[in-house]
Structure 1
């Protein structure tokens, strides 16, 4: 993963995003697509911002990867090549490709627990 020493230090220090002190938090605004240091968003005024994982760098240039990994801090899906959290994970369900973001927590955990085999 392409994580900086500062990011790794924060990840080792905190066990969840809620433990990060407000002065060290960064936020993702899904309205204007900016990363900001305060809430509400200074660009568009949006008040419901997502706390950004310190291991997320929002810059993945990989279009398709074969497998997915999960962030050790927040548990979200990440790109296995660069560590970016901005990935869309899809799965084939009864013949259709579907974004798994709309799945409930139990179904997402089931996806994480799947054992994958490869034929050599």
Structure 2
């Protein structure tokens, strides 16, 4: 992923999402699907909001990409072409295609550590 200079500065400044000061945080509300600047959500009142990674821009126009990269700040899968965290990663590890979001942390780390080869 070719991160912009602004994104590189964010990665150098913060090591984890929890290091971002509360006044600089943005949150994703999975109830009403808004990105908000405060808790609870001003639209629906939801109190369980996810801290939004500052490298995430929430919109990926790519439908299928061959590989996945991982965010250096939050560790989530990102689109290698645009950097959006709004991706669904699937794998055929267990013999059939499935979304890896339901895998436990160990299995997801195994997927990240896997060596990928090109048939070219």
TM > 0.5 = yes
**Number of residue pairs the alignment of both structures matches:** 120
TM-score normalised by L of structure 2: 0.93
Instruction: Give, in angstroms, the shift of residue 95 of structure 1.
Output: 2.9
Partner of 2:26: 26
Q: Which 5+ residue runs of structure 1 have no aligned equivalent? A: none
Runs of 4 or more, structure 1, over 3 Å off, are: 1-8
Cα shift readout 1:16-55 (whole Å, capped 9, x = no counterpart): 0000000000000001111000000001111000000010
Superposition map of 1:46-61 within 5 A: 46-61=46-61
Is contact 1:11-1:54 (8 Å) kept?
no
Per mean C-alpha deviation after superposition, the further-off stretch among 3-12 and 14-23 is 3-12
Instruction: Give the Cα–Cα distance (whole angstroms) in 2 for the partners of residues 27 and 102 of structure 1.
Output: 22
TM-score normalised by L of structure 1: 0.93
Quick check: which one's strand share is greater? 1
* 2:91 corresponds to 1:97: no
Partner of 1:112: 112
